[in-house]
Amino acid sequence: MVLVTGAAGHLGCALVRELIAGGEKIRALVLPGEDTSGLEGLPVEIVQANVLEPDSVRPALEGVDVVYHLAGIISIMPGKDDLMRQVNVVGTANIARLARLAGVRRMVYVSSIHALSRPLRGTPIDEKVHFDPHSIAGEYDRTKAEASLAVLSEVARGLDAVIVCPTGIIGPFDFRGGSSMVTQVRQWMKPGPHMIIDGHFDFVDVRDVARGMVLACARGRRGETYILSGERISVADLAAAVQDTVKARGALFKVPFRLALVASSFTTLHSRLWGTKVQFTRYALETLASNSLISCAKARSELGYSPRPVRETMRDTVRWIRDTADPHASGDAPRRHRRLGILGRGQALPVRRPGVAVVTGASSGIGAAVARKLASRGYKVLLTARRKGLLDDLADEIRSAGGRADVLATDLSRPEGVRAVYERVGEWGEGIDVLVNSAGFGWYGYASDMPAETALGMIQVNNAALAQLIVMFLPVMRGRGYGHIINVSSVAGSIPSPWAALYSATKSFVDTMTTALHRELRGSGVHVSAVRPGPVLTEFYRTVTALSSGRSIRAERFGISPDVVAAAIVHLLHRPRRAMFVPRGLRLVPWIEIGFGWLIDRIAVFFLRRQASGA
């Protein structure tokens, strides 16, 4: 049995196919909920685990003879990246240690040419060059060097491992649109002029890297490193090779290196501020200008490694792009780091095959309306609420219309209810694309009249359950590089409302958490939004009145249909933004609080007395 981590990525898909051709039995380790479209139809066993969670990896190592460790994050952005460091360094150390303890026969670790020190131009780079954990080139280089040294430390403790260092990987099988070079090939395939950077690098076919890894496993010497390079070629020649294949040569304009270097500071800043896709960074430019005289002589002589010409790779890549129905062909799909498409506010997301959507509070009102709309758009919807009868009726309605729905009757006021939602999604093994936190309730009246158990229940459902679901599902979404969390808030969260003090506070919590997460996750491919409706024509107000000591409030006369709110939520899925007031005119409410809060302080008591006398 062969275990491949990172099996769903570009190189992983190529390696899995190489191993299948060799008759190997394969176990593919992927993140929970990760996109595995590149493995569909292949005879592989897929297991879900996280390299940062050793307990989840141990079962995957049972009965394994060989481990290929590919899982990692690539980044061309400057500065520190905690997630990349965790995955690349800690994750690799975990896999190497667990592989040693499991007694695997051999481990092959995919490092990078960037893990090696960068000698002066003109000096050939080979395996005599040491790993440089203090590289000044970039954080990615340092993490791969540290990870390589961590593997060698386990070798000293008894692990049989070899390390391969590929150069710039290009080629087919990029099913998820995660390769920046394949994205660039797609751009060069389009007619018209193209701006290119004047520089050179060594590029290698992904299939040759996969073959080199198999050879390293079979013939490599324990504890040795092998460079898997291809051919040194200029960016202009790469672009020309693509255009020759598509028979549509366009003008190629070389951007002077110094000008590009100055511009890279602005593109990087723009990317960080606005979440736009970064086209090039100082790190990428310095890589093209650095020493790229790279030798694979050791791999040729000891392993029998023989890479193909780059022009052949370009030709095959163009053909694969043309022959593959690729939803990421536009190059706009959201991915973290060099995964594609960092989207800004108001940009439309690319068309993606609908996956799993979880809707809380789905038994009625906004939740039920959202569930219907998501199911009609192809999502597999998990309906959650307390009232099973209503959920079953809604599920039957969705199924009769040709949709997919499942029911989970659970009480989110209890921690075990929240856990049940997470576990049900995990049982499906399909990850999660959309989480709509619609569950919640309110209470109207003087806070001094509110029963303590009502206050506790409101905080648990409106806030605690929402926060727990987010922190449970967020790692899954971040691991996949996409997802959307939509929290149903209220205009009451934007203006502190007497007679609804706690309810306003819980919705303010939702707004604040949404805003913070929106900023925290910007550029990750994962979006967090809040919908802030005014009064909605649901059973909300009847429930409020039915609660112990609760008062009625005359707001339904201003109410809108839950379908209007549901339509706004669906709109956010296509054009993500931090918040949306429904109807739009309510976006003035926060400014009313800011500008006239002092007046509300003085007149609110008179309205409260009137409300109390008429309740």
Whether the per-residue pLDDT at 94 is higher than 90: the answer is yes
Distance (Å, whole) CA 568 – CA 436: 12
Whether the per-residue pLDDT at 354 is higher than 80: the answer is no
Residue of 494 and 180 predicted with greater confidence: 494
Confidence grade of residue 266 (pLDDT, cut at 50, 70, 90): low
User: Which tokens sit at 377?
Assistant: 């758009």
What class does CATH assign to 2-323?
Answer: alpha beta
Whether the per-residue pLDDT at 338 is higher than 70: the answer is no
Residue 213: the pLDDT is 97
User: Which tokens sit at 512?
Assistant: 């604040």
Which of 283, 305, 444, 503 is the catalytic position?
A: 503
Residue 256: the pLDDT is 73
Confidence grade of residue 446 (pLDDT, cut at 50, 70, 90): confident
State how far Cα 512 lies from the chain centre: 22
**Mean pLDDT score, 15-26:** 95
User: Which tokens sit at 179?
Assistant: 């390769």
State how far Cα 611 lies from the chain centre: 48
pTM (2 d.p.): 0.56
Q: How many CB atoms lie within 10 A of CB 516?
A: 11
Q: Please list, in sequence order, all residues whose beta carbon lies within 8 angstroms of the beta carbon of residue 443, skipping any fewer than 6 positions away.
A: 450, 454, 455, 458, 500, 502, 503, 544, 547, 550
Confidence grade of residue 348 (pLDDT, cut at 50, 70, 90): very low
Q: Positive or negative, the Cα torsion across 48, 54, 55, 60? A: positive
Contact indicator for 138, 172 with CB cutoff of 8 Å? no
**Mean pLDDT score, 464-470:** 95
**Mean pLDDT score, 252-274:** 66
**Mean pLDDT score, 17-40:** 91
Distance (Å, whole) CA 405 – CA 391: 10
Contact indicator for 408, 361 with CB cutoff of 8 Å? no
Confidence grade of residue 467 (pLDDT, cut at 50, 70, 90): very high
State the maximum Cα–Cα separation within the chain, in Å, rounded to a whole number. Answer: 93
What class does CATH assign to 356-614?
Answer: alpha beta
Chain mean pLDDT for the chain:
84
Residue 121: the pLDDT is 79
User: Which tokens sit at 21?
Assistant: 């051709």
Contact indicator for 181, 239 with CB cutoff of 8 Å? no
Task: Assess whether 503 carries a catalytic annotation.
Answer: yes
Whether the per-residue pLDDT at 615 is higher than 80: the answer is no
For residue range 57-84, list pLDDT tens digits in order. Answer: 999 999 999 999 999 988 777 667 788 8
Confidence grade of residue 13 (pLDDT, cut at 50, 70, 90): very high
For residue range 272-308, list pLDDT tens digits in order. Answer: 555 555 656 766 766 777 888 999 999 999 999 999 9
Distance (Å, whole) CA 340 – CA 329: 11
Residue 182: the pLDDT is 78
Report which of 367, 492, 375, 388 is spatially closest to residue 438, judged by C-alpha positions.
367
Whether the per-residue pLDDT at 335 is higher than 60: the answer is no
State how far Cα 346 lies from the chain centre: 19
Where along the chain do the CATH 3.40.50.720 domains lie?
2-323, 356-614
For residue range 368-424, list pLDDT tens digits in order. Answer: 999 999 999 889 999 999 999 999 999 999 999 999 999 999 999 888 999 999 999
Distance (Å, whole) CA 157 – CA 97: 9
Distance (Å, whole) CA 210 – CA 11: 7
Contact indicator for 515, 590 with CB cutoff of 8 Å? no
Contact indicator for 536, 563 with CB cutoff of 8 Å? no
Whether the per-residue pLDDT at 427 is higher than 80: the answer is yes
Distance (Å, whole) CA 428 – CA 431: 8
Distance (Å, whole) CA 409 – CA 418: 11
Least confident of 4-8, 12-16, 188-192, 569-573: 188-192
For residue range 430-443, list pLDDT tens digits in order. Answer: 889 999 999 988 88
DSSP conformation letters of 290-316: S---B--HHHHHHH---PPPHHHHHHH
Residue of 331 and 342 predicted with greater confidence: 331
Contacts 24+ apart (CB under 8 A), 347-352: 347/575, 347/576, 348/574, 348/575, 349/573, 349/574, 349/575, 349/576, 351/327, 352/327, 352/433, 352/482
Residue of 74 and 155 predicted with greater confidence: 155
Whether the per-residue pLDDT at 613 is higher than 70: the answer is no
Report which of 297, 315, 294 is spatially closest to residue 205, judged by C-alpha positions.
315
**Helix (H/G/I), strand (E/B), else coil: 262:** helix
